[in-house]
Amino acid sequence: METVCSYCGVGCKFEIQEHGRLRGVKSYPINRGRSCAKGLSLSDTLEINRLTTPLMRDTTEDAFGSARYDEAIARIAQAIQNTVPDRVALYLSGQMLNEDYYVANKLAKGFIGTPHCDTNSRTCMASAVVGYKKTLGVDYVPVRMEDIDTTNLLILIGANPAEAHVVLMQRIKKARKRGLKVVVIDPRRTATAKEADLYLPIRPGRDIDLINALMRRLIAEGFHDEAFIHAHTEGFETLIEGLLALDEDSLIKSAGITTEDFEKLVTLWCENERIITGWTMGLNQALQGTENNLAVITLHLITGQINRPGCGPLSLTGQPNAMGGREVGGLATTLAVHLDYTETNRAKVAEFWQTDRLPIAGGLTAYEMLQAAHRGELDVLIICHTDPIYHLPNRRFVEEAIARVSLVVEINAYEGSETAPHAHIRLPAVPFGYKEGTQTNLDRTLTRVEAFEPKGDLLQDWEIFARIGQALGHEKAFDYADTRAVFEEYQAMTRLSEREHLNIFDADYEALKTEPFVWGEGVLSSNRFFTPSQRAQLHFVTTNPHPEEPDEDYPFLLLTGRTRDQWHSGSKTAQIEKLHKYKPLRFVEIHPKDAAYLGIAEGQSVTISSRYGTLTTEARFADLRPGTLFIPISDRRVNYLTSGRIDPYSKEPDYNHTAVRIGVAG
């Protein structure tokens, strides 16, 4: 039997051996037998630290008492019925399977009638979603991982696949042996940067300046693709006018790199025929996250580096099924599948779901839900497969906010989340190993997730949502025989998308066990984009002054991110001894020169403070830009430090640009 990894967006396929041991599947095109330590350790997570009984209490001051699912679900249904739809919110996760997501989204938008159904993918991929929609007209990743095998130049900007997409990094290393050139643009000389032909230690938040300098130079030297621009894009006049008004030297200086390095980047771009740019949180999680995405995609459009093998802008999705959540329509900004809120789409969806309760327009996004809660505007908050108290920025504010919600429900497979102490009801769900369904990896590959242990009396996430739907009186709408029935209803719904690009309706639930299905293959190959004019939209963007530049009080910029063997809050990985060997859970990286200036020794206990909070941890010396610090998100306290600013378009948090100070603890 085979299943797919439930950690990162690469989506490696595993063979299940005796005693549930996992091994990479050699014939699977995504990982070809490869895997990483974290993924393989999933076989050790089936029993550890599990939440196994529904728990309820009246107030967060009380102790939890055990309950039955039906009692807890009746209380949830009652609370929903006692308020108005607009005061109910669902907070979902890019780690849920498509079927779990589909039923939750149908419950929220279709039957409770609340538009406030969003997901932790807002903190992760929202800037890329908006970037693709504004340029290509559709949320579509126009590159596959296999393109790495044939490209000539790979630019990784704000991404650290050596730690965050480990098997993809193995593929990159292999491609380097046949001559692939790699550029890494990151304020930290990461494990990925150490593999690069060119490393540019960018100043945080200045990527647009670098990209503008590059575009300006490429156009000046005639390396843009005039035929492509003329035939397939709009907005070139505005772009060129904007770029010409900028000064190249000032842009390079602002980006914090040397002229010499810039020239090397230009040469690499001009010398290579096929180019991919890959990016992740270093660009997405920023106040200008959407604009960062627009800049990268525009660069690829004006050079015609798109819609051909081995080329294109490749947003590297983080979570295993953040793509699936986008396809199902789990973001508050979409209604269902790839349908936005328009009158026509509402009519189609109302007919499909047989409901008259659909919201009129999009709802609160992830952080906005907590902002609304802080204003006392939410009565019921249902959280599934994610830990917002841990992961949302400015944690003190988020803790205050959640305390103002009268019913907080947490659906989790494990004990010990940071959200659990704030919940009134905690419902257990079965995790990886016990559940089945489908998920979509970062390059649109849809695969079957298989249960390899019997799940017993506990429910899978979608079953919990279906039971809430039934308790609200919608028996028929939520009466599914099994997971396959949910998938097939979802498939049928993908036919509602106007251009039928989301051709998940062509997949087959049984066949997915052995053959992956890649949706949307070739839909842009004729360069007809999904915008009204069918032309891609070029965007001219510039760097705005950041409201939180380092100053005398808070002279450092805090960067946050991942380490190879830990998965986010570590509800699973932190429980496994062997995954602690590579890096500890808690530390702060500081440049040795900064440390020397402040009298900080390696290994010393240090306190880091921002305008929002403070924490004490251990100093480690590292090669990162002087003036920046790095704390891994395996330190669950990290968001006591971060600011609650969000990108105005994508609503994604600005996790990487908080001003902080550091000093010896004590």
Ligand X SMILES: Nc1nc2c(c(=O)[nH]1)N[C@H]1C(S)=C(S)[C@@H](COP(=O)(O)OP(=O)(O)OC[C@H]3O[C@@H](n4cnc5c(=O)[nH]c(N)nc54)[C@H](O)[C@@H]3O)O[C@H]1N2
User: Min. distance of Cβ 327 from ligand X in angstroms?
Assistant: 17
Secondary structure of residue 200 in the 3-state scheme: strand
How far is 653 from 127, CA to CA, in rounded Å?
Answer: 10
> Which of Mo ion, ligand X, ligand SF4, none is residue 12 near (CB under 5 to 8 Å by kind)?
ligand SF4
Candidates 2, 25, 28, 38: give the one binding ligand SF4 (CB under 6 A): 38
User: Min. distance of Cβ 167 from ligand SF4 in angstroms?
Assistant: 4
Q: Which stretch binds ligand SF4 (CB under 6 A): 8-16, 95-103, 447-455, 580-588?
A: 8-16
Interface map 514-553 toward ligand SF4 (x if CB under 6 A): ----------------------------------------
- Would you say 438 and 98 are in contact if contact means Cβ atoms under 8 Å apart? yes
Q: Give me the residue whose beta carbon is nearest to ligand X.
A: 318
Q: Taking CB under 6 A as the rule, does residue 646 contact ligand SF4?
A: no
Q: Which stretch binds ligand SF4 (CB under 6 A): 29-37, 232-240, 466-474, 656-664?
A: 29-37
How far is 467 from 18, CA to CA, in rounded Å?
Answer: 34
Q: Are strands 13-16 and 65-66 parallel, antiparallel or unpaired?
A: unpaired
Toward ligand X, which CB reaches closer, 114 or 315?
Answer: 315
Toward ligand X, which CB reaches closer, 143 or 559?
Answer: 559
Q: Give me the residue whose beta carbon is nearest to ligand SF4.
A: 39
| CA atoms lying within 13 Å on the CB side of residue 625 | 20
Candidates 2, 3, 10, 388: give the one binding ligand SF4 (CB under 6 A): 10
Q: Taking CB under 6 A as the rule, does residue 11 contact ligand SF4?
A: yes
Q: Scanning residues 269 to 328, which ones bind Mo ion (CB under 5 A)?
A: 318
Q: Which stretch binds ligand SF4 (CB under 6 A): 30-38, 248-256, 470-478, 653-661?
A: 30-38
Q: Taking CB under 5 A as the rule, does residue 329 contact Mo ion?
A: no
Toward ligand SF4, which CB reaches closer, 346 or 385?
Answer: 385
> Which of ligand X, ligand SF4, Mo ion, none is residue 163 near (CB under 5 to 8 Å by kind)?
ligand X
Toward ligand X, which CB reaches closer, 147 or 207?
Answer: 207
- Would you say 187 and 625 are in contact if contact means Cβ atoms under 8 Å apart? yes
How far is 10 from 629, CA to CA, in rounded Å?
Answer: 28
How far is 495 from 584, CA to CA, in rounded Å?
Answer: 47
User: Min. distance of Cβ 173 from ligand X in angstroms?
Assistant: 16
Measured between alpha carbons, how far is residue 268 from residues 148, 199, 221, 223, 446 in Å? 16, 12, 14, 12, 34
Secondary structure of residue 386 in the 3-state scheme: coil
Q: Taking CB under 6 A as the rule, does residue 36 contact ligand SF4?
A: yes
> Which of ligand X, ligand SF4, Mo ion, none is residue 39 near (CB under 5 to 8 Å by kind)?
ligand SF4
Secondary structure of residue 338 in the 3-state scheme: coil
User: Min. distance of Cβ 368 from ligand SF4 in angstroms?
Assistant: 30
Secondary structure of residue 395 in the 3-state scheme: helix
How far is 274 from 314, CA to CA, in rounded Å?
Answer: 13
Query: What token pair was written down for 498?
Result: 């106007």
In three-state form (DSSP H/G/I as H, E/B as E, the rest C), the secondary structure along 218-278 is HHHCCCCCHHHHHHHEECHHHHHHHHHCCCHHHHHHHHCCCHHHHHHHHHHHHHCCCEEEE
Residue matched to tokens 């039955």: 68
Long-range contacts of 593-598 (CB under 8 A, 24+ apart): 593/626, 594/556, 594/626, 594/627, 595/619, 595/621, 598/662, 598/663, 598/664
Total site size for Mo ion, rule CB under 5 A: 2
Q: Taking CB under 6 A as the rule, does residue 56 contact ligand SF4?
A: no
Q: Which stretch binds Mo ion (CB under 5 A): 45-53, 118-126, 234-242, 594-602?
A: 118-126
Q: Taking CB under 5 A as the rule, does residue 54 contact Mo ion?
A: no
Q: Give kind and range of the element (H or E) at residue 135.
A: helix 126-136
Query: What token pair was written down for 648?
Result: 């105005």
Toward ligand SF4, which CB reaches closer, 167 or 301?
Answer: 167
End-to-end Cα, the chain, rounded Å: 55
User: Min. distance of Cβ 406 from Mo ion in angstroms?
Assistant: 30
User: Min. distance of Cβ 39 from ligand SF4 in angstroms?
Assistant: 2
Toward Mo ion, which CB reaches closer, 110 or 318?
Answer: 318
Neighbours of 171 (CB within 10 A): 21
Q: Taking CB under 5 A as the rule, does residue 124 contact Mo ion?
A: yes
Q: What angle do CA 97, 102, 107 make, to 5 degrees?
A: 130
Residue ranges binding ligand X (CB under 6 A): 8, 38, 93, 95, 120, 123-124, 157-161, 163-165, 185-188, 190, 202, 204-205, 207, 280-282, 285, 318-319, 384-387, 390-391, 411-414, 417, 429, 431, 461, 559-562, 564, 566-569, 571, 633, 638-639, 642, 655-656
Candidates 2, 3, 12, 477: give the one binding ligand SF4 (CB under 6 A): 12
Secondary structure of residue 154 in the 3-state scheme: strand
How far is 364 from 382, CA to CA, in rounded Å?
Answer: 14
> Which of ligand SF4, Mo ion, ligand X, none is residue 11 near (CB under 5 to 8 Å by kind)?
ligand SF4
The DSSP line for 513-531 is: GTS-EETTTTTTTT---SS
Toward ligand SF4, which CB reaches closer, 386 or 491?
Answer: 386
- Would you say 317 and 303 are in contact if contact means Cβ atoms under 8 Å apart? no
Candidates 2, 3, 28, 35: give the one binding ligand SF4 (CB under 6 A): 35
Toward ligand SF4, which CB reaches closer, 23 or 495?
Answer: 23
Q: Taking CB under 6 A as the rule, does residue 576 contact ligand SF4?
A: no
Q: Scanning residues 140 to 169, which ones bind ligand SF4 (CB under 6 A)?
A: 166-167
Q: Taking CB under 5 A as the rule, does residue 126 contact Mo ion?
A: no
Q: Taking CB under 6 A as the rule, does residue 8 contact ligand SF4?
A: yes
Rg of the chain's alpha carbons, rounded to an integer?
24
Residues that bind ligand SF4 (CB under 6 A): 5, 7-8, 10-12, 31, 35-36, 38-39, 166-167
Residues that bind Mo ion (CB under 5 A): 124, 318
